[in-house]
Amino acid sequence: MVKQQANWSPYDNNGGSCVAIAGADYCVIAADTRMSTGYNILTREYSKICKLADKCVMASSGFQADVKALQKQLAARHLIYQHQHNKQMSCPAMAQLLSNTLYYKRFFPYYSFNVLGGLDNEGKGCVFTYDAVGSYEKVGYSSQGSGSTLITPFLDNQLKSPSPLLLPVQDAVTPLVEAEAIDLVKTVFASASERDIYTGDKIEIVVVNATGIRREYMELRKD
């Protein structure tokens, strides 16, 4: 009598890729807008990016139902924080909250691969990258999702982040100017959509800087 395997899974993968790059005074967060299941496309215009606080934006790929639930949880906790402290949460604070929220469901995880980007209290760009159960790290750039294996090596080559183990402590921000970072993101997504079937349709690019949050779009391959 062989142990019976589950014939139903609570999870599904809706595909897609996300990228975030931190600069000296800006942060670029981008994700494609395709939502798929198996070999089918559910919609070509789905936003994977969510504004959690004034200067804090999260992009998530994976199972979008879990992503939606996670975003609602974080929004609710942020509202409570605002009532209690009379101010918006800073990006590093939100980063810790996200990590705790994910680990809370360690034994029935949110199938959500997140990338958090924004400005810290001093106005410098910061990017935090997560796994599905809340392990996180502050980095200069990151990518998650189905295209991450195609995107990360190229970003490593162009932007190589210093290791957090090196001394003296080096800053994890890229030397790029905002326009160059956006150009890099567009190139990287165009290349990923050539080779990854789950990435395509459109990119949504969100830029967080001192003046506020700005959104732009770019068309990608639709096949």
Residues that bind other proteins (CB under 8 A): 15, 36, 38-41, 146, 150, 157-158, 160, 183-184, 186-187, 189-190, 193-198, 218-223
> What's the min distance (Å) between Cβ of 53 and other proteins?
31
> What's the min distance (Å) between Cβ of 113 and other proteins?
15
| Stretch (H or E) spanning 179 | helix 178-195
Q: Which two tokens stand for residue 107?
A: 């034994």
What stretches of 105-159 show up as alpha helix (H) in DSSP?
148-159
> What's the min distance (Å) between Cβ of 87 and other proteins?
39
What single-letter amino acid sits at 82? Q
Name residues whose C-beta falls within 8 Å of residue 36's C-beta, 6 or more positions apart in sequence: 14, 15, 16, 42, 198
* 171 or 219: CB nearest other proteins: 219
> What's the min distance (Å) between Cβ of 29 and other proteins?
18
What single-letter amino acid sits at 148? S
* 4 or 211: CB nearest other proteins: 4
> What's the min distance (Å) between Cβ of 144 and other proteins?
15
* 33 or 71: CB nearest other proteins: 33
CB neighbours of residue 177 within 10 Å: 13
* 24 or 159: CB nearest other proteins: 159
* 190 or 213: CB nearest other proteins: 190
Is residue 33 helix, strand or coil? coil
Q: Say how many CA atoms lie within 13 Å of 135 toward its Cβ.
A: 2
